[in-house]
Structure 1
Amino acid sequence: QNDSCSSTAGAGAQFQKWKLKAEQAKKVEFIRTTEMLKPQLANAEKGTNRYLYNRKSDLRVEYSILVELVHRMSISRKTEKAKILQQLSKIQSDVKRLQQQLNDARPTPEFVDKLKETMGEIENAISAFKEEQRQIYEQLLKEEKATMSELSALERKVKLWVLGSSTAGKVLKLPSVNKVLEKHLPEEVVEFERFLQQTGEWQGGWDDHDHQTFLKVWTKHKGRLSYMDEALEYLCGQTKEDIEQRDKWYQKFLILLERKKE
């Protein structure tokens, strides 16, 4: 029986040695493969950069902006990580100091006061850390919401652009104003109808959501320039120049509409 146990133990030891050798061989092979792939990766990155940074490349500017953004975000993450580690390290140090004080506990009023002071410092540090992280989290949620809103606006624009591209030929073939009716309609009516057809009908080429949002903000501020900041906040997919152009369009729209009514 002892021989059988010894034989089993020996077989187990041999198996463990074989397993360790196999794992070691896999690690060596992985490292060798990684080292072989490094030059290929470097060449691929070099070729990509050569193409993207080429003056003739349409993506050069966008790629440069993206690289700079990634670099700034990386630095920001490292800074934030270092700050958090520093805060946690201080809290940990305070906790260790409290533990040391408890180990050296002496039932005196001075000791109790010192203990309360240390516990208060730890509690304040933890509360401040949690509050700061909560504010960061809320800010990230706001940024995520704004980003999703911008993406939705861009998605709507792309859909409208695709739809407009597919029907552009048909639209261009339509007469701006019926030639027969032009002779029988007042000049103000013809001018208004021509303006609508040339600039995207009653919404000026914008989708219904953006157009209604613009009207709501513009009307709220009665057309004063103070509406711009609020308009930019709600119209995430539009730039300041877009809104300024929309303002000019709407001003002309109102003038021509008033003439038509007269």
Structure 2
Amino acid sequence: MKKNKLNHNDAWEKAYLQQSHDAAIGRLYRGLVHNMNGDIQAITMQSELISMMFVKADELLARIVQDLKEGGESLELLELREMLKRRASLHETMGGSVRSIQNIMRRTASFQDFEAGTDSASYTLNSIITDEVDFLKADSFFKHKVHKQFSLNETLPPLKQFQLEVHQIICALLENAVDAMRSIEGPHELFVESTLQNGKAEVLIRDNGPGISPENMERIFEPFFTTKENASGLGLYMANTLAHECNSVIHCESKPGCTQFKLSMPVF
């Protein structure tokens, strides 16, 4: 009976992790599409402004020609020159939006061959952090109300394994921090740090939410345990399970007004 129960638990866990894998892929794409839509909207607005400028420029040129025929001074020439300067500024903004879309498309291509537990193209923890923060900007609370501070070590070595798992872990830890801060009035402070310590890459995520009580600290990685309304209680459980699969460890420290999770993983 005990063996059957263990087999049942293993099967449930595998099914849940597979579902989490599929959900993670979907979430990554949704985040990318959201960001791309923002850039496309910016380009659309800027192109409309440029079209209006061309109409205005044509009108000004017609007036300039008339002024020159009459031998008078042309104030329209100065106005046209100023408008062309604004047009050049819009062109640079549009170029930035196009480059952003190109970057999104490159990231989308890198997700096509994601398979849990397999080797992948080299990546860095910093790129994972940056991607996950970008994806979370689809959340209005996170985008507009959370003050974000980063201290990312640019010398971290590239990694080759567990890219999807690391995405899921960082996502779960970030979402947990953001959810914790929803219950306080503000300010909402999020601090993310990446470091290299004793041959291990580490990511620290700290929030200024209400904190975790001592009696709950021992249960935070249990499945279905949660103190939040409308929460599944599976986010930290999944993150901890995946961390073990990656030969990594998650540590948590908390006190009133401050909670931090630290992911420590070997440099594969």
Return the TM-score normalized by structure 2. 0.33
Structure with more relative contact order (C-alpha pairs < 8 Å, separation 6 or more):
2
- Tell me which structure has the larger Cα radius of gyration: 1
More strand per residue: 2
More helix per residue: 1
Return the TM-score normalized by structure 1. 0.34
